[in-house]
Amino acid sequence: MKIATWNINGVKARIDTVLAWLQEARPDVACLQEIKSVDEAFPCQPFEDLGYNVATHGQKGFNGVALLSKRPLEDVRRGLPGDDGDEQARYIEACVSTDRGAVRVGCLYLPNGNPLGTDKFPYKLAWMDRLRRHAALRLAEEQPFLLLGDYNVIPEPKDARNPQDWLGDALFQPESRQHFRALVNLGFTEAVRACTDAADTYTFWDYQAGAWQKNNGIRIDHVLLSPQAGDLLASCGIDKHVRAWEKPSDHVPVWVELAA
């Protein structure tokens, strides 16, 4: 079972690219972030034509997440629990049944937090606190659970080509990294680093200053696996080549293969 995550940076702008990748990579489940579309305007039909069931949690012009699945999506839940007043569409979760039982998938688009010194950074940290509390409840259920998406966190200096360039950025602040470690330390396996410790392992290259051409990247898209999902981990990868396609997102897909 192949499960992938990708911040597509706008479904309307990137739909041809996304469809081409789906046909090439053939994930069983795809988690999309920054769809930038309200639910009723999301172009479901092209994805359904490829055999995917679609669930979205969107808002106009910003944020938004979606789940695509070859198998039915069950128990779909929209929004991260813990703050009923939060109107930003950043989390969607569902179960997918397999021959070996159900797998629960949480797709997230974690707040960026910039610029520092504004209310955006405390919002990021508070959102991460909510995520950790929710994840702890899911882990207590002791079932295969994946928490994947654009975390907007650079976990370690080796996850940036030029870490010094990010010292004043919310993605690399000590508080952001500490919150990410606290989440992982609940008992998750961080899939990419479980499979490789290689340098120059990135998932994002900015559109500016020739970042892609210089390989000036960072790793901010992550797949976390519960112990039960980690036991099923067969392989993982980053589809870096997609960044060189026409009209690319600034992120690339990250995927895992589970023996499920």
d(CA 36, CA 129): 24
Residue 138 CB-density burial (10 A; 0-12 exposed, 13-18 middle, 19+ buried)? middle
239 is in an annotated binding site: no
Please say if 134 is a catalytic residue.
no
Which residue of the set 28, 91, 134, 150 is catalytic? 150
d(CA 103, CA 16): 29
134 is in an annotated binding site: no
Return the sign of the alpha-carbon dihedral for residues 78, 146, 184, 152.
negative
7 is in an annotated binding site: yes
Please say if 179 is a catalytic residue.
no
57 is in an annotated binding site: no
Please say if 52 is a catalytic residue.
no
Number of Cβ atoms within 10 Å of the Cβ of 220: 24
Which residue of the set 109, 169, 179, 202 is catalytic? 109
Angle between the 174-184 and 120-140 helix axes, to the nearest 10 degrees? Answer: 10
Q: Which residues are documented as binding site?
A: 7, 34, 150, 152, 250-251
Residues with catalytic annotation?
A: 109, 150, 251
Binding residues for Mg(2+): 7, 34, 150, 152, 250-251
